Every structure is written in structure tokens, then in C-alpha cells.
Amino acid sequence: MRRRALVALVAVPGLAQVAAAYTPDVEYTLHCEGCHLADGSGSPGKVPALAGSLARFLRVPGGREYLARVPGVASAPLSDAALAALLDWTLRRFDGATLPADYVPYTAKEIHALRAQPLADVAATRKALLEGTDPVR
């Protein structure tokens, strides 16, 4: 494992490369499904559920921005446009029934600006956003 850590350091320039673009459902499988699982159920206490949970963020101030700034989203090795499409697909796929009527898909420009603002304390931000909304799952 230590040997591989060295390889990891050497491989840093590769970060700038963006992988081949796939359809959003494939991008979900490649970048999200490993932890959030195919049905978006996650692992209680470890990986937040997406299913029936995401749209809550769109109903509170700052929530839309939060979804694009969480580490797994902001740091995904995808272009701004591919990430915007993936986020939109994920919202519709896992919480489409409760999307606010005024929801509009993310744009590449919006994603570009949001992913440049990392969250210093993800858990605290999440908790503050969801206070007063439905119970956190």
C-alpha cells in the first residue's frame, strides 16, 4: 500500500484529465453508485440516502448550492456540463416526485461557480440546512 501511495503522488497531473463522457445514468454508476448504491438508499449513518431525500435541499435557501458543493459532487472527475447533467438526472431519478415546481436544471456555468467553493464543514452545513425540514434519513 505504501508503494502505491508513491504512485499516487506521481499521478497528480492526471487529475486535470476528464474521463470519457457517458450518459448520466452511466456516470451515476461510475461515480456515485459505489457508495450511494443503485437504488440510492446509501448506508444509514455512513452514506446519506439520495432516494426520497434530495429534493428537500431545493426547498431551503442555500440547499441548491449545497448539492453542487458537497465533496462527492464538486470533486467528481467530470466536466462542468457533464456534472450538471448528472446532478439533474440524479434529482429526477431519486426524488423526481417531490421536485419543487420551480426547479430548473443546473447549468454548466452554475456548476463551475459552485464547485469552486468547497464546503469547510459539510456535516454542519447539512444539519443547518435541514433544520425544520423533514427528519433526516
Partner 1 sequence: MASRSFDDWIEATARRLARTTSRRGFLGRLGAALLGAAAFPLLPVARARGEAPREPAPDDAALTGAAGDPTSCDYWRHCSIDGFLASCCGGTATSCPPGTEMSRVTWIGTCRHPVDGKDYIISYNDCCGNSYCGRCLCNRNEGDRPVYQPGKSNDINWCMGTETTAYNSTVAIVLGVATPSS
* In the complex, minimum distance from the CB of residue 34 to partner 1, in angstroms, rounded to a whole number: 5
For partner 1, which is the closer residue by CB, 20 or 104? 20
Torsion of CA 92, 98, 102, 104, to 10 degrees: -10
For partner 1, which is the closer residue by CB, 21 or 113? 21
Could you list the residues that contact partner 1 (CB under 8 A)?
Answer: 1, 4-5, 8-9, 11-12, 14-15, 19-26, 29-35, 37-39, 43, 46-47, 72, 75, 77, 82, 85, 92-93
Cβ(82)–Cβ(21) below 8 Å: yes
For partner 1, which is the closer residue by CB, 45 or 61? 45
How far, in Å, CA of 104 to CA of 101, rounded?
A: 9
